[in-house]
Amino acid sequence: MLTVLILLFLIVALTGYLIGVYNGLVRVRAAVKLAWSNIDVLLVQRHDELPKLVEVCKQYMQYEAGTLERVMRARAGVDAARSSGSMSTLGSAERELRSGLTGLYAVAEKYPELRASEPFRHLQERISGLETAIADRREVYNDAVNTNNVRIDAFPDALIARLGDFPPAQLLHFQADQKADVDLKAAFSS
Protein backbone atom coordinates (compact mmCIF):
# COMPACT_ATOMS: atom_id res chain seq x y z
CA MET A 1 0.00 0.00 0.00
CA LEU A 2 2.82 2.41 0.91
CA THR A 3 4.64 1.53 -2.31
CA VAL A 4 1.52 2.29 -4.33
CA LEU A 5 1.14 5.66 -2.58
CA ILE A 6 4.81 6.53 -3.19
CA LEU A 7 4.51 5.48 -6.82
CA LEU A 8 1.31 7.49 -7.21
CA PHE A 9 2.98 10.52 -5.58
CA LEU A 10 5.96 10.21 -7.94
CA ILE A 11 3.69 10.00 -10.98
CA VAL A 12 1.71 13.06 -9.85
CA ALA A 13 4.93 14.98 -9.07
CA LEU A 14 6.48 14.07 -12.43
CA THR A 15 3.29 15.00 -14.28
CA GLY A 16 3.14 18.31 -12.42
CA TYR A 17 6.79 18.98 -13.23
CA LEU A 18 6.28 18.21 -16.94
CA ILE A 19 3.20 20.44 -17.04
CA GLY A 20 5.22 23.22 -15.38
CA VAL A 21 8.03 22.90 -17.93
CA TYR A 22 5.55 22.90 -20.81
CA ASN A 23 3.75 25.96 -19.44
CA GLY A 24 7.10 27.71 -18.96
CA LEU A 25 7.94 27.06 -22.60
CA VAL A 26 4.57 28.42 -23.63
CA ARG A 27 5.25 31.58 -21.58
CA VAL A 28 8.66 32.23 -23.16
CA ARG A 29 7.24 31.61 -26.65
CA ALA A 30 4.45 34.09 -25.86
CA ALA A 31 7.05 36.60 -24.62
CA VAL A 32 8.83 36.38 -27.98
CA LYS A 33 5.55 36.97 -29.82
CA LEU A 34 4.69 39.91 -27.57
CA ALA A 35 8.12 41.48 -28.01
CA TRP A 36 7.85 41.13 -31.79
CA SER A 37 4.34 42.59 -31.70
CA ASN A 38 5.70 45.63 -29.86
CA ILE A 39 8.32 46.15 -32.58
CA ASP A 40 5.72 45.59 -35.27
CA VAL A 41 3.51 48.35 -33.85
CA LEU A 42 6.39 50.82 -34.08
CA LEU A 43 7.32 49.70 -37.58
CA VAL A 44 3.74 50.29 -38.70
CA GLN A 45 3.70 53.74 -37.06
CA ARG A 46 6.94 54.68 -38.80
CA HIS A 47 5.60 53.22 -42.04
CA ASP A 48 2.61 55.57 -41.74
CA GLU A 49 4.76 58.64 -40.98
CA LEU A 50 7.19 58.31 -43.90
CA PRO A 51 4.74 59.29 -46.68
CA LYS A 52 3.88 62.41 -44.68
CA LEU A 53 7.55 63.30 -44.45
CA VAL A 54 8.03 62.74 -48.17
CA GLU A 55 5.00 64.91 -48.98
CA VAL A 56 6.31 67.76 -46.84
CA CYS A 57 9.70 67.44 -48.51
CA LYS A 58 8.18 67.40 -52.01
CA GLN A 59 6.85 70.89 -51.43
CA TYR A 60 10.38 72.22 -51.02
CA MET A 61 12.66 69.73 -52.77
CA GLN A 62 11.54 70.01 -56.37
CA TYR A 63 14.69 68.51 -57.86
CA GLU A 64 15.31 65.71 -55.39
CA ALA A 65 12.83 63.11 -56.63
CA GLY A 66 15.45 60.33 -56.54
CA THR A 67 16.09 60.86 -52.85
CA LEU A 68 12.38 60.81 -52.05
CA GLU A 69 11.79 57.71 -54.19
CA ARG A 70 14.66 55.93 -52.43
CA VAL A 71 12.99 56.49 -49.06
CA MET A 72 9.66 55.21 -50.36
CA ARG A 73 11.28 52.11 -51.93
CA ALA A 74 13.08 51.42 -48.66
CA ARG A 75 9.78 51.88 -46.80
CA ALA A 76 8.16 49.28 -49.04
CA GLY A 77 11.11 46.94 -48.47
CA VAL A 78 10.78 47.19 -44.70
CA ASP A 79 7.05 46.55 -44.95
CA ALA A 80 7.61 43.45 -47.10
CA ALA A 81 10.30 42.17 -44.74
CA ARG A 82 8.10 42.84 -41.71
CA SER A 83 5.25 40.92 -43.31
CA SER A 84 7.50 37.99 -44.18
CA GLY A 85 8.76 37.67 -40.61
CA SER A 86 12.34 37.12 -41.79
CA MET A 87 14.62 38.85 -39.31
CA SER A 88 17.62 38.81 -41.64
CA THR A 89 15.61 40.39 -44.46
CA LEU A 90 14.24 42.95 -42.05
CA GLY A 91 17.76 43.84 -40.95
CA SER A 92 18.82 44.54 -44.54
CA ALA A 93 15.66 46.51 -45.27
CA GLU A 94 16.14 48.58 -42.12
CA ARG A 95 19.66 49.45 -43.24
CA GLU A 96 18.34 50.66 -46.60
CA LEU A 97 15.66 52.74 -44.92
CA ARG A 98 18.11 54.23 -42.47
CA SER A 99 20.45 55.10 -45.30
CA GLY A 100 17.59 56.63 -47.31
CA LEU A 101 16.45 58.74 -44.37
CA THR A 102 20.00 59.91 -43.73
CA GLY A 103 20.25 60.93 -47.38
CA LEU A 104 16.92 62.73 -47.15
CA TYR A 105 17.96 64.63 -44.03
CA ALA A 106 21.29 65.48 -45.65
CA VAL A 107 19.60 66.84 -48.78
CA ALA A 108 17.14 68.75 -46.57
CA GLU A 109 20.11 70.74 -45.31
CA LYS A 110 20.17 72.47 -48.71
CA TYR A 111 16.65 73.77 -48.10
CA PRO A 112 16.52 76.15 -45.12
CA GLU A 113 12.78 76.76 -45.63
CA LEU A 114 12.16 73.02 -45.34
CA ARG A 115 14.26 72.67 -42.20
CA ALA A 116 12.44 75.63 -40.69
CA SER A 117 8.96 74.28 -41.44
CA GLU A 118 7.06 72.99 -38.44
CA PRO A 119 5.66 69.88 -40.21
CA PHE A 120 9.15 68.80 -41.30
CA ARG A 121 10.65 69.28 -37.84
CA HIS A 122 7.71 67.51 -36.20
CA LEU A 123 7.91 64.52 -38.55
CA GLN A 124 11.69 64.34 -38.28
CA GLU A 125 11.43 64.27 -34.48
CA ARG A 126 8.59 61.74 -34.59
CA ILE A 127 10.49 59.39 -36.90
CA SER A 128 13.69 59.76 -34.86
CA GLY A 129 11.70 58.93 -31.72
CA LEU A 130 10.25 55.87 -33.41
CA GLU A 131 13.75 54.79 -34.49
CA THR A 132 14.94 55.00 -30.89
CA ALA A 133 11.91 53.08 -29.64
CA ILE A 134 12.45 50.38 -32.29
CA ALA A 135 16.06 49.98 -31.16
CA ASP A 136 14.94 49.70 -27.53
CA ARG A 137 12.25 47.17 -28.35
CA ARG A 138 14.70 45.19 -30.47
CA GLU A 139 16.76 44.65 -27.31
CA VAL A 140 13.68 43.39 -25.46
CA TYR A 141 12.80 41.13 -28.38
CA ASN A 142 16.31 39.68 -28.60
CA ASP A 143 16.31 39.07 -24.85
CA ALA A 144 13.01 37.18 -25.13
CA VAL A 145 14.37 35.18 -28.09
CA ASN A 146 17.51 34.33 -26.14
CA THR A 147 15.47 33.15 -23.15
CA ASN A 148 13.28 31.07 -25.44
CA ASN A 149 16.20 29.51 -27.28
CA VAL A 150 18.11 28.69 -24.09
CA ARG A 151 15.03 27.05 -22.60
CA ILE A 152 14.36 24.87 -25.64
CA ASP A 153 18.01 23.79 -25.79
CA ALA A 154 18.50 23.10 -22.07
CA PHE A 155 17.82 19.70 -20.54
CA PRO A 156 15.12 18.62 -19.61
CA ASP A 157 13.14 21.41 -21.31
CA ALA A 158 14.64 20.35 -24.64
CA LEU A 159 12.82 17.02 -24.46
CA ILE A 160 9.46 18.67 -23.95
CA ALA A 161 10.25 21.39 -26.49
CA ARG A 162 10.87 18.77 -29.16
CA LEU A 163 7.73 16.86 -28.27
CA GLY A 164 5.65 20.04 -28.09
CA ASP A 165 7.01 21.57 -31.30
CA PHE A 166 8.73 24.63 -29.85
CA PRO A 167 11.08 25.80 -32.62
CA PRO A 168 13.88 28.29 -31.92
CA ALA A 169 13.10 31.93 -32.58
CA GLN A 170 15.27 34.09 -34.81
CA LEU A 171 17.20 37.01 -33.34
CA LEU A 172 16.75 40.41 -34.92
CA HIS A 173 20.33 41.44 -35.46
CA PHE A 174 22.17 43.56 -37.92
CA GLN A 175 25.43 42.77 -39.65
CA ALA A 176 28.46 44.90 -38.79
CA ASP A 177 27.91 47.12 -41.83
CA GLN A 178 24.26 47.54 -40.86
CA LYS A 179 25.18 48.70 -37.34
CA ALA A 180 27.86 51.11 -38.49
CA ASP A 181 27.06 54.80 -38.54
CA VAL A 182 25.87 56.00 -41.89
CA ASP A 183 28.58 57.93 -43.74
CA LEU A 184 27.19 61.46 -43.51
CA LYS A 185 30.07 62.89 -45.54
CA ALA A 186 29.07 60.69 -48.47
CA ALA A 187 25.40 61.55 -47.92
CA PHE A 188 26.11 65.29 -48.10
CA SER A 189 28.26 64.97 -51.20
CA SER A 190 25.63 63.15 -53.25
Indicate whether 111 pLDDT > 60. Answer: yes
pLDDT tens profile 112-132: 888 888 999 999 999 999 999
Q: What's the whole-number average pLDDT of the chain?
A: 87
Domain ranges of the chain: 2-189
Q: Are 160 and 18 in contact (CB under 8 A)?
A: yes
CATH of domain 2-189: 1.20.1440.20
d(CA 116, CA 31): 43
**pLDDT level of residue 134 (50, 70, 90 thresholds):** very high
Indicate whether 179 pLDDT > 60. Answer: no
Indicate whether 177 pLDDT > 60. Answer: no
Indicate whether 140 pLDDT > 90. Answer: yes
CA–CA distances in Å: residue 179 to residues 62, 95, 183: 32, 8, 12
Task: Report the 10 Å Cβ neighbour count for 122.
Answer: 14
**pLDDT level of residue 175 (50, 70, 90 thresholds):** low
The proportion of the chain whose per-residue pLDDT surpasses 90, expressed as a percent, equals 58
Q: Are 151 and 145 in contact (CB under 8 A)?
A: no
Average pLDDT over residues 104-109: 88
Q: In this predicted structure, what is the pLDDT of residue 58?
A: 85
Q: In this predicted structure, what is the pLDDT of residue 42?
A: 94
